[in-house]
Chain A
Amino acid sequence: MSAVQGDIRGGGRRQGELQGRLFSAFLLLSMGVGLVTLGTLIVKVILDGVRLVDPVLLTDSPSADPAFAGAGPAILATIYMGLLLIAFTVPIGVGTAVYLEEYADRNRWYNRALEVNIQNLAAVPSIVYGILGLAFLVRGLGLGRVLLAGAMILTLLVLPTVIIAAREAIRAVPGSIRQGAYALGATRWQVVWRQVLPAATPGIATGSILAVSRAIGETAPLLLVGALTYVAFNPTLLGDFTALPVQIYQWTSRSQAEFRELAAAAIIVLLAILLTLNAFAIWLRNRYGRKW
């Protein structure tokens, strides 16, 4: 055979082939590390805790005796917290997003600074928000270590994420719809309220639920803002409170094995709540989301 017709079977690339094979193995290992850890974690938690997931866990209060301890107040508080979070973050977050996307002049320095500020806030460690709450709400405003303070601080924590998600949803609405509405004589607010927001609602809802579900799993800020680790009664807005992640933390820190098992059981409950929320958000996106 002449050199031009050549052998295309590629027998001579031995070294490159080995390199390529090793590399692929490494890549698969990379994916594997994460997935195996995830699997191990879930299995471990279930094995440790599943026998304790029962009505006692779900409704009773914590107690020094693990046989009678439950996470009822903590679960309730977490649910309240979630509802409060949605009520606080959605109006403020969507309002900010609408301002930035529809009203703000991009050429002004203060509007650009606003955008950078929000991106930065999204990356501030969560414990710093706890310090913020400690200084202003608990001690400063004298609110004390109450559920409302926890909800307010988690609102600030999760607000940048909601703003970013809402902006994406708003941006996804095509400009042609806005142009058509303006051309008919609608004012800016009419365009936003009657065209843009209705069209962006599925995206905003999905983004908000995902953001809030992240906040529900947060522990550090709540520790600082006063989630006590031993609360035996149901939570009210302005009373002492705890939350499910905090309860988990408290039980994990105890050295007795029974408390560790309780912690695992509580983790199962927490993960179940988060899974439900996330599944709901994704269902929303698939059912109502529009591909422009």
Chain B
Amino acid sequence: MAAPEITAGAKPAPRLRASRRRYGEDVVKGVLALCALVSVATTVGIVVALFLPAIEFFRTISVVDYLTGTNWTPLFEPASFGVVPLIVGTLSVTLWALLMCIPFGLGAAIYLSEYAGGRTRKILKPALELLAGIPTVVYGFFALTFVTPLFRDLGLGLEVQNALAAGIVMGVMLIPTVASISEDAMSAVPRDLRDGAYALGSTRYQVATRIVVPAAISGIVASFVLAISRAVGETMIVLLAAGQRPNLTFDPRDAIETMTAFIAATGQGDVPIDSIEYKTIFAVGATLFLATLVMNLFSIRLVRKFREVYE
């Protein structure tokens, strides 16, 4: 047999080293890492921006007085720095918000996940998402100019600004939050679990409440926690519709002030820097940040847990 013509195969001994070091790659990686550091810088910035002035604040005012005092009058003479009224205000509004978004959010999620057909789902799901896309200032407007007058006309003795209207509107705004995360968690439950139950003769109600919801519970709880966190951190609805008067009451008909409304109102004004009033912004901000941080971390862990179980 004649040896065949060898053309492309017979190359000279290859040089496997790069002709020059690929610096470009290192530069690119550096630039990209810098982009990633922006998010780190943001967190560092938030922590520094909040806690440095807050620590200065707590040199003058004791933490105990702050956390237990029931009089919040930082701009008066004599000034009083008990944050409890703000916390109560926040909780009051949050409570009403949760009364709306937890049952109805979960209900919407169950409906979309277990009951709605393909076409219905295609229309209703985006419609629900629209609720989430409306800016909060618009919700504040709605609460102030429609809901409160409506409730007053219905005979509920509400002040012009009150916790109830703000809370309820906030709750409706949060329905998509609860619904979409809960629905994600429920669709992650494998079909087999449902099929097994249906095959045994269960109704849709039984499958939804006894099989799917328990299986998706960590995701559902995560959605509740996230909703609480969002309710606590919400500003515009409460600024417009709940009031700017620190008030130690859970009576939903009264005007109150939440932590966020206080920060927004004070931060807009021209409070002299380095005054104790200025630093209240940061003290309350730090309190708010810590509260939501704890809830967010908890919620993130829960979401991770339910994603892991089924993926």
- In the complex, which of the residues A93, A224, A267 contacts B141, with contact meaning CB atoms closer than 8 Å? A267
CA distance in complex: A248, B128 (Å): 24
What residue of chain B has the Cβ atom nearest to residue A193's Cβ?
B28
- Check A128/B175 contact, CB under 8 A, given A121-B39, A123-B296, A189-B28: no
- Check A96/B285 contact, CB under 8 A, given A30-B111, A267-B141: no
What residue of chain B has the Cβ atom nearest to residue A41's Cβ?
B142
Q: Is the CB of B107 within 8 A of A29?
A: yes
Bits for A222-249, please: 1 = Cβ < 8 Å to B, else 0.
0110000000000000000000010011
How many residues on B have C-beta within 8 angstroms of the other chain's C-beta atoms?
Answer: 89
CA distance in complex: A264, B288 (Å): 31
CA distance in complex: A126, B40 (Å): 17
Q: Is the CB of A23 within 8 A of B205?
A: yes
What residue of chain A has the Cβ atom nearest to residue B171's Cβ?
A33
Does any Cβ of A come within 8 Å of B85's Cβ? no
Tell me the interface secondary structure of chain B in the complex: helix
Q: Is the CB of B264 within 8 A of A224?
A: yes
Does any Cβ of B come within 8 Å of A60's Cβ? no
Residues from chain A with Cβ under 8 Å of B112 in the complex: 31
Q: How far does the Cβ of A16 sit from chain B's closest Cβ, in whole Å? A: 6
Tell me the interface secondary structure of chain A in the complex: helix
Does any Cβ of B come within 8 Å of A168's Cβ? no
Does any Cβ of B come within 8 Å of A132's Cβ? yes
Q: Is the CB of B38 within 8 A of A92?
A: yes
CA distance in complex: A114, B49 (Å): 20
Does any Cβ of A come within 8 Å of B293's Cβ? yes
Total residue contacts A-B, CB cutoff 8 A: 251
CA distance in complex: A38, B172 (Å): 9
Does any Cβ of A come within 8 Å of B267's Cβ? yes
Q: Is the CB of A260 within 8 A of B111?
A: no
Bits for B260-302, please: 1 = Cβ < 8 Å to A, else 0.
1001100110000100000001100100110011001101100
Does any Cβ of B come within 8 Å of A256's Cβ? no
CA distance in complex: A60, B18 (Å): 64
How many residues on A have C-beta within 8 angstroms of the other chain's C-beta atoms?
Answer: 81
CA distance in complex: A275, B29 (Å): 38
Does any Cβ of A come within 8 Å of B7's Cβ? no
Q: Is the CB of A34 within 8 A of B35?
A: no
Residues from chain B with Cβ under 8 Å of A252 in the complex: 137, 140-141, 144-145, 240
Does any Cβ of A come within 8 Å of B55's Cβ? no
Does any Cβ of A come within 8 Å of B198's Cβ? no
- In the complex, which of the residues A116, A132, A249, A278 contacts B45, with contact meaning CB atoms closer than 8 Å? A132
Q: Is the CB of A103 within 8 A of B128?
A: no
Q: Is the CB of B39 within 8 A of A34?
A: no
Q: Which residues of A contact B (CB under 8 A)?
A: 16, 19-20, 23-24, 26-31, 33-35, 37-38, 40-41, 44-45, 48, 91-93, 95-96, 98-100, 103-104, 114, 116-121, 123-132, 134-136, 139, 156, 159-160, 163, 187-189, 213-214, 216-220, 223-224, 245, 248-249, 252-253, 260, 263-264, 267, 270-271, 274, 278
Q: Which 9 A-B pairs have the closest CB atoms?
A: A125-B233, A30-B107, A217-B135, A95-B35, A135-B49, A99-B32, A220-B235, A20-B205, A27-B111
